[in-house]
Every structure is written in C-alpha cells, then in structure tokens.
C-alpha cells in the first residue's frame, strides 16, 4: 500500500516536495534538477512531486501561491521553503544541513 502524503513527510529522512503543474514552464525546468539531485543524494532524501491542479487541498494547506514551490520536510515539520527554480547545488547544500 502506498503511504499517504502525511506519512511520507513525517519521516526522519528529509523529504523534498515539489509543488508543480504540467502547464508551468519553470516547473519543467525543475524536473532534470530533481533527477540530478536524487542521483547524487540517493536514499538520503525522498523527493515527491505534487500536482497543484489535482491536489488542490494540499496546495491550499501549504498556501502555495506560485509554482514551482519546493518545501523540505523533516519529521513532519517544514525546515525550508522556496518558490521558483532552485539549482541542484543549492538544493544539495540545504538538504545537507538537515541530514
């Protein structure tokens, strides 16, 4: 069975959530960055994508005003948040601080 969103973000493993939409140009720029980040960091991090059009309740819960918005969770708490495209190197540094 697939874990729920709230179960995933409760994890002690840092979980990066990418709030995006298929029609969003900058969101498409984030995809290869997240792939690169996952290949570098492996199991040290979880990365999940949340489509704001199909998961409007989650988007409202986290007050997503613009996309892409990246939120880093650890043990259910937000430890970092940023809207817009973020470079893989910057993301890696931020995540390393929360490992």
Active site residues: 24, 27
Pick from 11, 5, 13: which is nearest to 62 by CA?
A: 5
Give the chain's end-to-end CA distance (angstroms, integer): 27
Buried b (16+ CB within 10 A) or exposed e, 14-40: bbbbbbbeeebeebeebeebbeebbee
Question: Helix (H, G, I), strand (E, B), or coil: what is residue 68?
Answer: coil
């Amino acid at each position: 069975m697939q874990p729920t969103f709230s179960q995933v973000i409760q994890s002690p493993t840092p979980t990066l959530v990418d709030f995006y939409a298929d029609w969003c140009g900058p969101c498409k720029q984030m995809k290869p960055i997240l792939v690169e980040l996952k290949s570098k960091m492996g199991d040290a991090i979880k990365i999940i994508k949340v489509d704001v059009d199909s998961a409007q309740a989650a988007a409202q819960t986290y007050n997503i005003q613009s996309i892409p918005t990246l939120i880093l969770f650890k043990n259910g708490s937000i430890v970092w948040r940023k809207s817009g495209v973020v470079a893989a190197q910057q993301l890696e540094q931020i995540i390393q601080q929360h490992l």
